[in-house]
């Protein structure tokens, strides 16, 4: 038995070593299921230099979450133009370009994503191009044509979490930064927010974006700790938060996780960016163009669900027959939603990549109704 296990491990290591850093997608074998998940290899990340500081490679390879489901929802076709608004390590963009003879426009505000992509972009013969910017401004970027599909993978990427230098992770000690643009950003860092925000606002942010029940205790502990010394590192903040949040056997996550999530969302205005990005997609998607969004926690998913349902006029409130006669509603749907519920990651993927456990995918189709600003109904 031991010899068999060792042989299997050595064979797997040999296969991984022989693989390219590119994930190759074979469209002719496309079918949702464990076999397809196994076709996607992890992309190994090289060390890089950003803004004069060495950015060490992540301890684990970045794996694109729900890649088979994303491809099925996006349905790339020859001659199509697709926008990957959260380019990251390029996993979705590569897979889309390999799935069909199409054009892919990647957008990312993280300088590291651009430097990492430089060595391999030419391999796609110009079919993948990368733009610097925020996906919330996708329709304002230069020379963006009408699109057949937009895909967004919301939140922080694995490569960002795994790099202590980026300051996203409570599990790795590093500077308390959390800005998607890195040190080149002109926005306040997480350390600045923790140092300058008053206790009430800090508690409100931690409660709203982190759904932390003990947000007031955490905020009070931060105020107390920063009075003695400025909180500059992730380890400092994590220790302060853990000291304020009671241990619970029911809670399997780290006690600092929700506070770190809240600060990251606030620093990068992630929920606002999500709303702006989906609205921008409506302005540049062709009729029947697809909007595909992958989220990782309830705050994001609730926004995506309500946005899609609102623009599909599925959240219209029922009016009582006893109510006064109302003026006929002339609103027309900007989206069509065929899904009854969000698609979840396959168990086979979760076994390989535990970070996919909380992932949810939602998809909607652009109608032929000309774009107009629509008020949310939810």
Q: Which CATH superfamily is domain 183-267 in?
A: Putative methyltransferase TM0872, insert domain (1.10.150.170)
- The reply to whether CATH 3.40.50.150 applies to domain 20-159+271-316+331-366 is yes
Contact call for residues 84 and 97 (beta carbons, < 8 A)? no
Structure tokens given for 31: 């079918």
Domain with CATH 3.40.50.150 in the chain: 20-159+271-316+331-366
Phi, psi (5° rounding) for residue 250?
A: -75, -25
Give Cα 180 to chain centroid, integer Å: 12
List the pLDDT tens digit at each of the 378 positions of the chain: 444 444 444 444 443 333 333 333 333 333 333 333 333 333 222 222 222 232 334 444 567 899 999 999 999 999 999 999 999 999 999 999 999 999 999 999 988 899 999 999 999 999 999 999 999 999 999 999 999 999 999 977 777 777 888 888 899 999 999 998 888 788 899 999 999 999 999 999 999 999 999 999 999 999 999 999 999 999 999 999 999 999 988 887 899 999 999 999 999 999 999 999 999 999 999 999 999 999 999 999 999 999 999 999 998 654 445 545 444 467 899 999 999 899 999 999 999 988 899 999 999 999 999 999 887 655
Q: What is the rounded distance in angstroms from the CA atom of residue 145 to the CA atom of residue 284?
A: 7
- The structure's pTM equals 0.79
Give Cα 23 to chain centroid, integer Å: 19
| Residue (of 31, 153, 20) closest to 93 by Cα position | 153
pLDDT value at residue 57: 41
Q: β-strand 103-108 against 343-344: which pairing, if any?
A: unpaired
Q: What is the rounded distance in angstroms from the CA atom of residue 309 to the CA atom of residue 329?
A: 17
CA gyration radius, the chain: 22
**CA atoms within 13 Å, Cβ hemisphere of 363:** 18
With a CB cutoff of 8 Å and minimum separation 6, the contacts of 325 are none
| HEC-encoded secondary structure of 129-198 | EEEECCHHHHHHCCCCCCEEEEEEECCCCHHHHHCHHHCCCCCCCCECCCCCCHHHCCCCCHHHHHHHCC
Domain with CATH 1.10.150.170 in the chain: 183-267
pLDDT value at residue 190: 96
């Amino acid at each position: 038995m031991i010899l068999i296990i060792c042989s299997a491990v050595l064979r797997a290591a040999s296969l991984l070593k022989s693989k390219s850093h590119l994930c190759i997608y074979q469209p002719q074998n496309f079918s949702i299921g464990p076999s397809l998940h196994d076709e996607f290899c992890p992309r190994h990340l090289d060390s890089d230099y950003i803004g004069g500081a060495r950015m060490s490679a992540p301890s684990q390879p970045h794996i694109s979450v729900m890649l088979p489901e994303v491809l099925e929802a996006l349905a790339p076709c020859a001659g199509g133009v697709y926008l990957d608004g959260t380019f990251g390590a390029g996993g979705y963009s590569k897979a889309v370009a390999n799935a069909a003879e199409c054009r892919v426009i990647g957008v990312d505000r993280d300088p590291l994503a651009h430097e990492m992509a430089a060595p391999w972009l030419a391999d796609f013969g110009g079919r993948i191009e990368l733009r610097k910017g925020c996906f919330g401004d996708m329709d304002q970027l230069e020379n963006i044509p009408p699109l057949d599909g937009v895909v967004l993978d919301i939140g922080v990427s694995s490569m960002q979490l795994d790099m202590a230098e980026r300051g996203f992770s409570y599990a790795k000690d590093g500077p308390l930064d959390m800005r998607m643009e890195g040190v080149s950003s002109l926005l306040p860092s997480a350390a600045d927010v923790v140092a300058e925000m008053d206790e009430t606002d800090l508690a409100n942010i931690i409660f709203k974006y982190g759904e932390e029940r003990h947000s007031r205790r955490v905020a009070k502990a931060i105020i107390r700790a920063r009075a003695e010394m400025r909180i500059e590192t992730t380890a400092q903040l994590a220790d302060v938060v853990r000291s304020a949040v009671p241990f619970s056997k029911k809670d399997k996550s780290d006690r600092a996780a929700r506070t770190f999530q809240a600060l990251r969302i606030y620093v990068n205005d992630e929920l606002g960016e999500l709303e702006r990005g989906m609205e921008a997609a409506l302005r540049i998607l062709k009729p029947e163009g697809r909007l595909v969004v992958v989220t990782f926690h309830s705050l994001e998913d609730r926004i995506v669900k309500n946005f899609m349902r609102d623009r599909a006029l599925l959240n219209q409130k029922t009016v009582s027959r006893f109510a006064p006669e109302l003026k006929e509603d002339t609103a027309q749907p900007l989206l069509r939603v065929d899904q009854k519920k969000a698609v979840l990651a396959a168990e086979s993927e979760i076994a390989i990549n535990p970070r996919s456990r909380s992932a949810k995918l939602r998809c909607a189709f652009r109608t032929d109704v000309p774009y107009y600003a629509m008020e949310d109904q939810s």
